[in-house]
A and B are shown apart, each in its own frame.
Chain A
Amino acid sequence: MRNSNPITQTSRIIVIMLVAGSLYAGQATVRRYVEIYRSPLRSDVSASIDRHLVPAGVTAEELREAVERAGWQPGDDVLVVASERPATREDLYQVYYSTGYLLYPSRVDVATDAMPAVGLRERRVVLRISHLGETSALITVNR
């Protein structure tokens, strides 16, 4: 008698939906956990920002050291330039954001060889990124 109650039956269906749906979605969670478990552990202090600098072939520490060696002043405008055939747009912007992240308070802009940046007072510094794997990255001072 109780089973024929539509409210009870619908309630059960809702519970079944929740359980089945959670188990289905849980597979994706577990799969991702396993992927992460199998990937190498990166426990260094700049692990996350270094990953975004991979297309430029430098680490955060190397970039900051290069900037220091080159005698760039805090506040110098920085231009991230990609070669004519850059890596993906995503890679370019990843490096651009990372440079802006690391070189505060310098103003950072981005450009490709074919499309120069606008809005900078003076191009004092160029971080040139080339296609990942083709040539190594160049960090040069353009004065």
Chain B
Amino acid sequence: MIPDLLRLSAALLTLIAFGYALTRLVAPQIAFDRFERFGVGYVLGTGAASLIWILFMPAYGVVSPVVLISGVAWTTVALAIAGRRTLVTPPRGQRPSLALVVLLIVAALQAAAVMFTAMRSELGFDAVFNFEVKARLAFESPVRGQIPLAYFSDASRIWSHPRYPLVVPFAEFWLYAWLGRADQFLVKIIFPLYYIALMAVAAGAIQRHAGRTAAAASIVGLGLLPAITVIPGAISGYAEIPLAAAVTAAVCCTLIGLNTERREAFWLAGIFAALASWTKVEGAVLALCLGGVALCVAGRRAVPILVLPLCVIVAWAVFQHRFGLAEKDFLPITPLTAFANLDRVPMIARMVGREIVTPGHWGLLWPAFAAACALSAFARRWSATATVLASLVMMPAGVYAASYLFSSWTDVDGHIRTSFVRLLVPLAPIALIFIASTLTNLSGEPAEA
């Protein structure tokens, strides 16, 4: 057990150090706090390593992926250290209030509970058959680390969604490669760490706009929502929490770019947006919406937020076109299909409406978001921050709802019932950041240090 834990620690440390070093090289002037830096490092390190994994796949007959990726990661760490670029850290705030201390203890207990229950429960259905299957294929492949090209066009395994992007399968393969075996017990450690990373980046963003107490209260609130913690949340092994962490990090960097006008923040936001589109298909929708809104609000400085994800989306689409199978869950996206299925609109509206007011999934987050939008409009206090955040919730939600017009399922309401709750997961932290920043803005009080 101890050698396993050492290998596991080495595998995770390599990813976190890689991400930390990349942040230090790309954006040393951004003032992340330590907790936030862990979250950014974990998401960035895992995502960047997964891109290296896929790019160097043809080389694994010669060199092991563990050696190659670790080599790149630790060389980057060495470069970051040799660069001697001093990291900017946020100024120390006032002494924490009792409320803040209590909230932080509760948030830490929540993270511990997520870790404990994740390790006690099994991977969910889609976690095994959509993601972990690819990690196992890469691990058990005759050339370890390569997903066989034939898999992407294997019609008998279309249920495993060969078109899905590969961040989560990479993270799982990475642990298997270090452990020397496919282990469905230890691999679950990935997901609570993504949960902690999500909380770290969300708290960092809220802290900058609404103060520390609001940030701590918000992550405690998020940690109570079953959709974030249970299914399809952090203990299930699904890709929603990794996607939420990447998108929230992209939004966080975009807001820093808007407020400080630092170009490097937009670059980092672009990298996270690219990683979001490399985590799940709907990450592409989120990345393009973020890029579009940022471009409208910040102008040309925000170009990386659109261009970097587009590079990933186009490359993966070309690969799928060349080697993959056609999408099976959706009909061709044409105006004709949309018109033919217009009769679905009332049903889609009813089911989407029901989901967003289901308190057992979301508390009253979405009604509160709607109320905050209305309040902000009533008070005529829309900042650039509010525009980005509100758009990044409403635009993708609209796209997702409209996408069911193209569903190829005979049971369309089943499609909505099983998928819409998941689509909302990455939007929830953004909605919470919007609410916190809007209420602080409207109160007229500066955010506490």
Contacts and interface: CB of A to CB of B under 8 A. Distances in A.
A101 B182 CA distance: 13
A29 B225 contact: yes
A37 B117 contact: yes
A14 B442 CA distance: 12
A18 B117 contact: no
5 contacts: A7-B375, A17-B364, A21-B363, A24-B360, A108-B157
Interface in B394-449: 435, 439, 442-443
Interface of B: 113, 116-117, 120-123, 125, 127-129, 132-133, 136-137, 140, 148, 150-151, 154, 156-157, 159-160, 181-185, 220-221, 223-226, 229-230, 235, 237, 359-365, 367-368, 371-372, 375, 378-379, 435, 439, 442-443
B230 A32 contact: yes
Contacts, number: 140
A28 B229 CA distance: 10
Contact of A25 (B128, B156, B362, B379): B362
B368 A18 contact: yes
A45 B443 contact: no
Interface stretch (A46-54, A81-89, A125-133): A46-54
Interface in A61-101: 93-94, 97, 100-101
Given A25-B361, A101-B128, 7 more contacts: A20-B364, A21-B363, A22-B220, A25-B225, A45-B184, A51-B122, A97-B159
A25 B359 contact: yes
A100 B443 contact: no
Contact of A21 (B116, B368, B375): B368
A39 B116 CA distance: 13
Interface residues of A, number: 45
A26 B156 contact: no
B151 A104 contact: yes
A23 B226 CA distance: 11
Nearest to A43: B185
Contacts of B221: 18-19, 22
Residue among A15, A48, A109 having the largest count of chain B Cβ atoms under 10 Å: A48
